[in-house]
Structures are given as structure tokens and as C-alpha cells.
Amino acid sequence: MKELQTVLKKRFAIEFADKNLLETAFTHTSYANEHRLLKISHNERLEFLGDAVLQLLISEYLYKKYPKKPEGDLSKLRAMIVREESLAGFARDCQFDQFIKLGKGEEKSGGRNRDTILGDAFEAFLGALLLDKDVVRVKEFIYQVMIPKVEAGDFEMITDYKTHLQELLQVNGDVDIRYQVTSEMGPAHDKVFDVEVLVEGKSIGKGQGRSKKLAEQEAAKNAVEKGLNSCI
């Protein structure tokens, strides 16, 4: 916990008045369950709160950033930014993965690198920050950590390459596009997938990722980048 406090102070100028709150935000249910007699709080309630403050701040950001986009587009963008995989990435960027308290079983099975656990801890941290400080401080943190990546367009890409590829290919009518897993490596909690995208049965792009979805996106991206014309 000392080390976490140092990281927060150094990188984000955040000092918690209530250290217990901070500790709770980083305590996974598996740890609390293992130490049931000590009645340790876990981070689920804080995650509930953090999720809500995150939704609001991202909604407000998107509302102002895109004055012309209809509500449906804003919702989609928000969903991409606040989804588990994205939040897990932010948690890693902040080194939060090092400080989560896990039960032994969860630790052994690779929980420290699991997107759900990381994303939940990230949200719980936001909830704790809201309670310890206020919504303005949470906003500052989000503008330090998340918004620069959003502005860099990291989130428009993630789900867009598959759609983009489809749009490019279907200009001349319907085309058969398939994604095929060519290999799956690593233990259950730390898999890497290789995926190929096939157009009319012919491979036009390859990608690798931690989930099938991400690998498919990479494959689509690869196909788009190689230039479609040379392939079909």
C-alpha cells in the first residue's frame, strides 16, 4: 500500500485522506473471501460507484467534443471507451495491476492479468477517489489518464477495422468475409490468438491478440493496411 501511495502521489499528485478506502478499492473479492474472519471489505461497491462517475464524465466529454453527433453515436463511443478491455489497459498504464490484493487461487490462475479484475479495480479506484475527493478530482484524473488516448483515436479504431474492411470490400456487392483462428497459444488465463481474415476463401490479412475479437481486428487492420486492391 505504501508503494501504491507513492505511485499515486508521484504520477498523479493524488493523496488519499482515507487510506482504508484506497485499500478497499484494490481488494478483490477473492482476497476478502480468503480472509473472511478479518471482515475485510472488497471493491465491488466502489466499482458500482466508479462505473457511474466514469460514465458521466465520459458522456460529458463526448457531448461537448462532438456537438453534432446523434445520441446513438455518442452511446457507441462511450461503450468502446468504458468497456472492460479498455479499462484494464488503463489500469495497466497506471501500474494498478501490481497493487491488487488477490486470493491465492485467483493469483495462481493469472487473475492479476485478467481484464475483468483490472477493469473493476480501475472503476473501484475512481469510486474511491470520488468519495475521498470529489467529481472534479476524478475528472482531472480521467483527463490525465484516459482522455489523451481517446483524443489519439485509440478507441475509434478498436471496433472499426472490421467494419471498415467490410465497407471497403462490399463497394462492388456482397463479398464473403470470414475470420479464422489459425492458432491458440499459452495457458487458459493468458492466451494469444492468431487469426486470418479470408475473402472468398483467400487470406488477405493476419493478426494476433489476447482475445479472438482483438486478433480479428488486427487481421482486418492488417488487410486494410496492405491495401486491398493487390489482394483481391
Binding residue ranges: 47, 120, 123
Tell me the window of 17-25, 44-52, 160-168, 208-216 that interacts with its own copies (CB under 8 A): 44-52
Q: Which listed residue (123, 132, 196, 218) is catalytic? A: 123
Q: Which is nearest to 155 in space by CA: 144, 147, 164, 163?
A: 147
44 is a contact residue toward its own copies (CB under 8 A): yes
Q: Based on the residue annotation, tell me whether 176 is a catalytic residue of this protein.
A: no
Q: Alpha helix (H) ranges present in the chain?
A: 2-12, 19-25, 29-34, 44-65, 71-82, 84-93, 104-108, 115-132, 135-145, 147-151, 154-158, 160-169, 212-226
75 is a contact residue toward its own copies (CB under 8 A): yes
Contact indicator for 111, 29 with CB cutoff of 8 Å: no
166 is a contact residue toward its own copies (CB under 8 A): no
Q: Which is nearest to 26 in space by CA: 132, 112, 150?
A: 112
Near its own copies by CB under 8 A: residue from 7, 40, 49, 198? 49
**In angstroms, rounded to a whole number, what is the distance separating the alpha carbons of residues 148 and 145?**
7
Q: Based on the residue annotation, tell me whether 51 is a catalytic residue of this protein.
A: yes
Q: Which is nearest to 106 in space by CA: 22, 42, 23?
A: 42
What one-letter code names the amino acid at 61?
Answer: Y
Residue closer to its own copies by CB (options 24, 222) is 24
Exposed/middle/buried for 174, CB within 10 Å: 0-12, 13-18, 19+?
exposed
Residue 86 beta carbon to its own copies: minimum distance, rounded to whole angstroms? 17
Binding residues for Mg(2+) are 47, 120, 123
63 is a contact residue toward its own copies (CB under 8 A): yes
Residues 110-139 that bind its own copies (CB under 8 A): 127, 130-131, 135
Residue 39 beta carbon to its own copies: minimum distance, rounded to whole angstroms? 12
* Residues of the shown chain interacting with its own copies in the complex, contacts defined by CB under 8 A: 44-45, 47-49, 51-53, 55-56, 59-60, 63, 69-71, 74-75, 127, 130-131, 135
Q: Indicate which residues carry an active-site annotation.
A: 51, 123
